[in-house]
A = this chain, B = another copy of it.
Amino acid sequence: MSDTPQGTRPVDPPPALSGLRCLVLGGSGFLGLNLCNRLAEAGAEVTCFSRSHTQPALLDRRVARVTGQFADRLAIANAVDCQDVVFHLIAGSIPESSNRDPSAELAATPIATLHLLEICRSARIRKLVFASSGGAIYGVPGAIPIPERAPTDPISAYGIGKLMIEKALLLYRHLHGIDYQILRIANPYGRFQLGAKHQGLIGSYIHRVLTDQPLEVWGTGEVVRDFLHIDDVSDAFLAAVTYDGPHKVLNVGSGVGLSVNRIIAALEAAFGRDRLPCVYKPSRAADVPANVLDTALVRSELGWQPRVALRAGLVDTIAWMRAYLADAAGQHRET
């Protein structure tokens, strides 16, 4: 990773996506908002499909908004109609909570994805790009970094759901020739990650610091994760659209493992604080001790590499969340 003095925005021009009709399912989530905006900047005709559009100001004005449930087949069929590329970014829940009711987790998004595949088959879309989870799909890894060919033994229903969807994509390509790309994404962080929902360690930590709460550490803080800035994730999504090589499953990560304690130290530096207060809690059953992805394949196949250094990424994310919270507080005072 190299530092980018001009900020966290990638320097390369985006691929030629001008006029490409792109549907982003789950477009109002953290990954979705960033991807919609990047696609719009690249000249694509973007539709953001979401069950709710609670943060309309975050979305580029050129992006069309459609509200609907993923399980609503008619709504999905209407949204998919006439699209070139469909991005599937819908996650049912998060790994930890998914284990409270595994059958509900698997009966929801994975089953609805099979309906989506039937719809994509009829609509003859060019490609389906799926956001899988590099953190959840491998389970407890036998070795670090984890290559794509490693065993996939998730320890959360969330991870099993992601695996089911991967296998369903492979099945529909085999049976009906639908093209797809799976990106197994590491732990993304950056703007639009709303820390209050506990989605993502870095977003949650920055939110807690800015709202004067201690950082929650599960276990000893020696759990190792692979953190990647959201702009690098968006880069990989855009590169996946035009990729036509044989590797349908690609890891997307920083290639570097950092412990939670290292992240806390980096946040202390980024905030200019000597010590951020922490509270320690028991380890969670859905947490694997270490997860770092082997990214040799995505680097060679997509010509992709992470561009945003951790320090710059943290500073950028802190600045965004500070402004976001100030804005929200201002709106609150106005009402």
Interface residues in chain A, defined as those with a beta carbon under 8 Å from any beta carbon in chain B: 99, 102-103, 106-107, 110-111, 114-115, 117-118, 139, 149, 151-157, 160, 163-164, 167-168, 170-171, 174-175, 285
Contacts and interface: CB of A to CB of B under 8 A. Distances in A.
Nearest first, the 3 closest Cβ-Cβ pairs linking A and B are: A103-B114, A160-B167, A155-B174
5 contacts: A155-B170, A157-B168, A157-B171, A160-B171, A163-B167
A102 B168 contact: yes
Nearest to A107: B111
Copies in the complex: 2
Nearest to A105: B114
Contacts of A155: 170-171, 174-175
A111 B110 CA distance: 11
A287 to B, nearest CB: 11
Contacts of A106: 110-111, 114, 164, 168
B154 A171 contact: yes
A278 to B, nearest CB: 27
Contacts of A149: 151
A51 to B, nearest CB: 20
B153 A170 contact: yes
Contacts of A163: 163, 167
Contacts of A157: 168, 171
A154 B175 contact: no
A117 B107 CA distance: 15
A153 B167 contact: yes
B160 A168 contact: yes
A149 B103 CA distance: 26
A158 B5 CA distance: 53
